[in-house]
């Protein structure tokens, strides 16, 4: 029994073909949108590549870009097919292509759904990548005279200023590393020497942060050093007073920024998936209706269209049977204990010692 069977007159078939032709061109535009969204996300990730660790964070934008390109190609072909389906004579040259086209389009729409869901599952991978990347960027913040790292100070400063953040998890991350280069330390100073000796690793650690952590909206001049020393500043208590530096970590700020982008892209991809699925259903109805009208032989008569020719269970069993038989195509049949009759049959010897000799008649 056919699933969701609908009867189509010739007028309905023609209108369905025309509507699907228009919708396929709209789908081409949606493919361009998917491509653009993937490209935008890839560029945004590339901008912060210096503060990201090694990881497969480009899987989502690459998926969206690929799906967008495929959408343009498939829907362009679909528009041509649907345009020709308004004429039964032109449909005859597409009838063998229609079913493979529908199967490929179904797989393609599934890829759109996967891409949309990946936008919501990428957060953990992105968080780990940001944690590792920011940790290394802060660690090498002071290395402004080392090739390959000299740009990190500017990158981190612009990041903290632009995203109103400080450190990886928070401003205290700067307390645990030496972020002032040794070339700017007065080694003759007793204070510097004492601070270097007080640390096991010989690092110059201070309870201070770079200037880029300062909040310009604060009415008080920025306090960068001795943040936890109340006696070092007038009318200051760091436990109760709101600090005039950014207290939010850059990992959290970047994660929220990218999550908002991916959430918006995910919603757009889901809407495009629903639209593509509706177009696919329409093409399936058109294909079955045109196929049946050709079987009837009367191009003006009514015909039935459906999603599945048999029930879901019957279709599933049929397809599973096909898959099971695929692996048996190259196997030798051994039914009822009978082997291949050609096995163990002695081959004809064609060597030079077995060639029948014939006397050559003498020339007359």
The domain total for the chain is: 2
Is residue 215 located within the same domain as residue 284? Answer: no
In a domain, 70, yes or no: yes
Lowest-confidence segment of 36-40, 46-50, 103-107, 199-203 by average pLDDT = 199-203
Is residue 25 located within the same domain as residue 85? Answer: yes
In a domain, 140, yes or no: no
User: 54 or 69: whose pLDDT is higher?
Assistant: 69
Lowest-confidence segment of 57-61, 148-152, 153-157, 173-177 by average pLDDT = 148-152
Is residue 117 located within the same domain as residue 42? Answer: yes
Q: What is the pLDDT of residue 331?
A: 53
Is residue 203 located within the same domain as residue 263? Answer: no
In a domain, 338, yes or no: no
Angle between the 123-139 and 250-296 helix axes, to the nearest 10 degrees? 150
In a domain, 61, yes or no: yes
User: 306 or 256: whose pLDDT is higher?
Assistant: 256
Q: Which of 263, 288, 310 is the last residue of a domain?
A: 310
Q: How far apart are CA 48 and CA 291, in angstroms?
A: 54
DSSP assignment, residue 230? G
Q: What is the pLDDT of residue 362?
A: 46
Report the mean per-residue pLDDT for the chain: 81
In a domain, 331, yes or no: no
Whole-prediction pTM: 0.76
Q: What is the pLDDT of residues 295-343, one digit of tens each?
A: 777 767 777 777 776 666 766 666 566 566 655 654 544 444 444 544 4
In a domain, 156, yes or no: no
Q: What is the pLDDT of residue 155?
A: 93
Q: What is the pLDDT of residue 211?
A: 93
Is residue 199 located within the same domain as residue 103? Answer: no
* Model confidence at 359: pLDDT above 80: no
Q: What is the pLDDT of residue 195?
A: 78
Q: Which of 310, 328, 348 is the last residue of a domain?
A: 310
Q: How far apart are CA 189 and CA 197, in angstroms?
A: 12
Is residue 260 located within the same domain as residue 243? Answer: no
Across 92-106, 147-161, 184-198, the highest mean pLDDT is recorded for 147-161
Two structure tokens written together for 256? 């929220």
**Plot region of 321 (φ>0 → left; ψ -120 to 50 → alpha; else → beta):** alpha
Is residue 48 located within the same domain as residue 190? Answer: no
Lowest-confidence segment of 87-91, 195-199, 209-213, 241-245 by average pLDDT = 87-91
Is residue 119 located within the same domain as residue 264? Answer: yes
- Going by C-alpha positions, the residue among 103, 68, 124 that lies closest to residue 273 is 68
Q: What is the pLDDT of residues 214-230, one digit of tens each?
A: 999 888 888 888 888 88
- Going by C-alpha positions, the residue among 307, 275, 277 that lies closest to residue 289 is 307
Q: What is the pLDDT of residue 269?
A: 95
In terms of DSSP H, where are the helices of the chain?
Answer: 10-47, 59-84, 88-91, 95-121, 123-139, 152-163, 190-197, 250-296, 312-326
Is residue 261 located within the same domain as residue 243? Answer: no
Q: What is the pLDDT of residue 97?
A: 78
Domain that holds residue 191: 171-247
In a domain, 344, yes or no: no
In a domain, 24, yes or no: yes
Q: How far apart are CA 286 and CA 307, in angstroms?
A: 10
Q: What is the pLDDT of residue 241?
A: 67
Is residue 234 located within the same domain as residue 264? Answer: no
Write phi, then psi, for 201 (nearest 5 degrees). -85, 0
Find where tokens 């191009």 sit. Answer: 299
Per the CB < 8 A criterion, the answer to whether 69 and 31 are in contact is yes
């Amino acid at each position: 029994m056919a699933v969701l069977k609908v009867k189509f007159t010739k007028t309905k078939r023609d209108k369905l073909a025309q509507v699907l032709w228009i919708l396929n061109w709209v789908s081409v535009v949606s493919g361009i949108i998917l491509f653009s969204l993937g490209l935008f996300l890839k560029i945004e990730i590339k901008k912060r590549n210096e503060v990201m660790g090694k990881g497969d964070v480009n899987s989502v934008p690459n998926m969206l870009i690929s799906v967008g390109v495929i959408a343009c190609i498939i829907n362009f072909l679909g528009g041509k097919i649907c345009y020709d389906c308004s004429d039964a004579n032109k449909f005859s040259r597409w009838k063998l292509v229609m079913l493979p086209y529908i199967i490929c389009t179904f797989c393609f729409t599934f890829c759109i759904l996967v891409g949309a869901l990946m936008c919501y599952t990428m957060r953990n991978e992105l968080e780990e990548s940001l944690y590792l990347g920011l940790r290394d960027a802060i660690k090498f913040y002071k290395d402004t005279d080392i090739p390959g790292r000299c740009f990190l100070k500017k990158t981190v400063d612009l990041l903290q200023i632009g995203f109103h953040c400080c450190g990886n998890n928070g401003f205290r991350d700067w307390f645990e590393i030496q972020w002032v280069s040794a070339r700017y330390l007065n080694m003759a100073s007793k204070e510097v020497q004492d601070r270097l000796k007080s640390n096991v690793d010989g690092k110059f650690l201070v309870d201070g942060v770079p200037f880029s952590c300062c909040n310009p909206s604060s009415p008080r001049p920025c306090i960068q050093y001795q943040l936890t020393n109340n006696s070092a500043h007038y009318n200051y208590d760091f436990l109760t007073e709101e600090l005039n530096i950014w207290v939010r970590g850059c990992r959290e700020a970047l994660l929220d920024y990218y999550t908002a982008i991916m959430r918006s892209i995910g919603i757009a991809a889901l809407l495009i998936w629903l639209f593509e699925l509706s177009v696919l259903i329409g093409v399936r109805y058109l294909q079955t209706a045109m196929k049946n009208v050709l079987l009837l032989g009367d191009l003006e008569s009514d015909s039935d269209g459906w999603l599945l020719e048999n029930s879901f269970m019957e279709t599933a069993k049929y397809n599973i049977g096909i898959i099971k038989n695929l692996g048996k195509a190259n196997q030798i049949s051994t039914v009822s204990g009978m082997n291949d009759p050609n096995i163990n049959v002695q081959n004809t010897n064609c060597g030079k010692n077995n060639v029948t000799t014939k006397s050559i008649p003498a020339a007359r």
